[in-house]
Structure 1
């Protein structure tokens, strides 16, 4: 599976995010494209240690969902979203795209780092697990909007 930290992934993600426009419609789910861009910032804020959103360890989620975060199997459409990453209010497309691109750029500057803080819900993750999880989440939502 592709990892955020693989060579070329940064350019691919930037290209795909740049291909979005405010008129893109979701192929599934309830978020509009600006809300999706806002939503995708959350996991990046977690890995960059900007915000843990007061998430707490959950043995049920950790036991049954952790491995799906970084497995090779694509996530199914319409998975539930935890409330802290849901937005019912409208967002500014260009502002949210810029923030997401900035976070992707920032994470790319850490591509050679080998140690990371534990995830607030899933606990200790290796660099490979963090990289796969970040790519998988972004890829899922970019596919949701057809890019």
Structure 2
């Protein structure tokens, strides 16, 4: 799996984001493109310490940990996978401001490419630096593919 810490992968993600416009439609799912941009900011901002997610109860934490490897391995995610409640977006979001905020979050995360210490994820626990980079790339790739880019 590619990593958002890699310069080439970072540039690729930015290029794909910039191919979208307000009328871009998803190939699956219910989100509009502005909502997708907003949704994609959550994991980046969580990693950067800008978003606090409520920790799940112990049973849910065990369930989440069973899916942990799937967040950063090479296997693509299925279409229409359920979204965790804290990351669901139901309100309409404006395209341009959300696009700019996503680009900022992508750039800020990429700038952490030399960071050696990360806070544990509230639901999944500890990730290595490499796993954080792969997980962020995989999430963005999934949603950009959802919108045909």
What is the rounded CA distance, in whole Å, between the counterparts of 1:55 and 1:104 in structure 2?
A: 24
Corresponding residue SS for 1:118: coil
Determine the structure 2 residue equivalent to 1:9.
9
Once residues 53 and 98 of structure 1 are traced to their aligned partners in structure 2, the CA distance between those partners, rounded to angstroms, is 23
- TM-score of the superposed pair, with normalisation by structure 1: 0.95
What does 1:1-147 correspond to in 2, within 5 Å?
1-56=1-56, 58-63=61-66, 65-147=67-149
Q: How many residues end up aligned between the 2 structures? A: 146
Using structure 2 for the length normalisation, give the TM-score: 0.94
Unaligned 5+ segments in structure 1 are none
Three-state SS of the structure 1 residue aligned to 2:29 is: coil
C-alpha offsets along residues 42-87 of structure 1, whole Å, 9 cap, x if unaligned? 0001110111222336111112x10100110000100000121111
Structure 1 runs of 4+ with >4 Å offset: none
Structure 2: runs of 5+ lacking an equivalent = none
